Amino acid sequence: MLIVMTANATDAEVAGVVRAITELGFRAHPMAGATRTAIGITENAGAVDPARFTNMPGVAEAIAVSKPYKLITLECRAERTVVKIGDATIGDGGLALIAGPCAIESREQAFAIAESVRRSGARFFRGGAFKPRSSPYAFAGLGEEALKIMAEIRERFDLKIVTEALDEAGLELVERYADMIQIGARNMQNFSLLRRAGRSGRPVLLKRGMAATLEEWLLAAEYILAEGNDQVVLCERGVRTFSQHARNTLDLAAVPAVRRISHLPVIVDASHGTGKNYLVTPLARAAVAAGADGLMIEVHNQPERALSDGAQALGLEEYEQMVHAVRAIHEIIA
Ligand code: PEP
Ligand code: MN
């Protein structure tokens, strides 16, 4: 159930509806918009009787929600969510660039890449501290040491730090150092981790699971919003198919499909989405043309020496050239 308030409903009237929802033992999620406030109801076991609300002062209508998600929808919030970290934004109509290495390998490597991507216009720096690796013997990241390096990078280059938390204990640590918490594809349905991210004060970058439907992905975001955190960015990163020419099949149709349903920003990771250096720039260009709010791109100063995902890393100059191309495309479609 979604309670839509009239355009001129007062704060007291909104509070009255919130109180009525709470008294029923449910949870109220007021979402203030530019023209009106909508209040989502969650934690109700069955259908909620709309008559309980329709006659309350300030209420325009009570809408039964037929889809399993509520808070992420455009019905709930007609204005698009803008995720803000200081003066850096995702979802405000600009093109957000999140760039950096797959993993932080050393201070020198991370600083060289950060300096370069900042110069090419990235406002967000990505770097893995805790890496989910298929093999238990592969390089799994420098852990807290990597977080410390990235905290230095934030100060030195005025970049916002995005890094993955693999579990709840890791999230505790990541939120102390980073600006944005990444939930990886492998954890998209780790519901306790999603709930914990929903209780964090940090924005969350939610990757699509490698075999997740659009609905499952949106429901994963709903978990985060249901806990009170509406600063969520969705990230398409490719899904598994029979295709063998790329690591994953980048599902660019997901971009307009998400935007049709949800107010949340959606970005595209063209690196994990393709797995191959030569595919990254063409697919990044296509993602921007499809309406993505931003890109996540893996960049390395020495791709051939990278400890993880070297095959899909762009070199520093390749990244700079990609930025020129995607900016030009973004300007045309904006
Ligand atoms: C990553 O971005 O570092 C990563 C591991 O991506 P994904 O979760 O999409 O595989
Ligand atoms: Mn990677």
Dump pLDDT digits (tens) for 120-177: 999 999 999 999 999 999 999 999 999 999 999 999 999 999 999 999 999 999 999 9
Which residue owns the Cα nearest ligand 1 atom 10?
Answer: 185
C-alpha 132 to ligand 2 mean position (Å): 9
Q: Which helix (H) or strand (E) holds 126?
A: strand 124-126
Same domain? For 266 and 145 the reply is yes
**Residue of 104, 204, 217, 237 best suited for mutating to test ligand 1, as the one with most atoms within 8 Å of CB:** 237
Tokens of 75: 């019905």
The environment of the single-atom ion ligand 2, i.e. residues with CB closer than 5 A, is 102, 309
Q: Is 247 in the pocket of ligand 1 (CB under 6 A)?
A: no
Which of the listed residues 63, 95, 115 is the one where a domain comes to its end? 63
Distance between CA atoms of residues 180 and 202, nearest Å: 6
Distance between CA atoms of residues 207 and 275, nearest Å: 16
Same domain? For 161 and 199 the reply is yes
Helix, strand, coil: what percent of the chain each, to 5? 35, 20, 40
Task: Give the pLDDT of residue 20.
Answer: 96
Task: Give the pLDDT of residue 46.
Answer: 83
Range of the domain at 16: 2-63
One-letter amino acid identity for 222?
A: E
DSSP state string for 43-106: S-SSPPPTHHHHTSTTEEEEE---SS--TTBTTT--SPP-EEETTEEESSSS-EEEEE-SB---
Same domain? For 166 and 269 the reply is yes
- Edge-to-edge strand ranges of the sheet holding 59-63: 27-32, 37-42, 2-5, 59-63
Residue 70 lies in a domain: no
User: Ligand 1: which atom is nearest the Cα of residue 186?
Assistant: 8
Residues of the chain with pLDDT under 70: none
Residue 203 lies in a domain: yes
For the purposes of burial, counting CB atoms within 10 Å of the CB of 129, is it exposed (0-12), middle (13-18) or buried (19 or more)? Answer: buried
Task: Give the pLDDT of residue 38.
Answer: 94
- For 284, the 3-state DSSP assignment is helix
C-alpha 140 to ligand 1 mean position (Å): 12
Same domain? For 218 and 180 the reply is yes
For residue 134, give the ligand nearest its CA: 1
Looking at every residue in the chain, the average pLDDT score rounds to: 97
Q: Specify the pTM.
A: 0.95
Dump pLDDT digits (tens) for 153-165: 999 999 999 999 9
Number of structural domains (the chain) is 2
Same domain? For 116 and 35 the reply is no
Distance between CA atoms of residues 240 and 199, nearest Å: 31
C-alpha 93 to ligand 2 mean position (Å): 27
Task: Give the pLDDT of residue 34.
Answer: 86
Match 């990044």 to its residue by tokens. Answer: 284
One-letter amino acid identity for 212?
A: A
User: Ligand 1: which atom is nearest the Cα of residue 187?
Assistant: 8
- Paired with 294 in beta bridges are 96, 267
User: Ligand 1: which atom is nearest the Cα of residue 102?
Assistant: 3
Residue 73 lies in a domain: no
Sequence-ordered list of residues with C-beta below 8 angstroms from that of 160, at least 6 positions apart, any chain: 85, 86, 88, 123, 124, 125, 154, 179, 180
> Any idea what the CATH number is for the domain that residue 217 is in?
3.20.20.70
**Residue of 139, 166, 182 best suited for mutating to test ligand 1, as the one with most atoms within 8 Å of CB:** 182
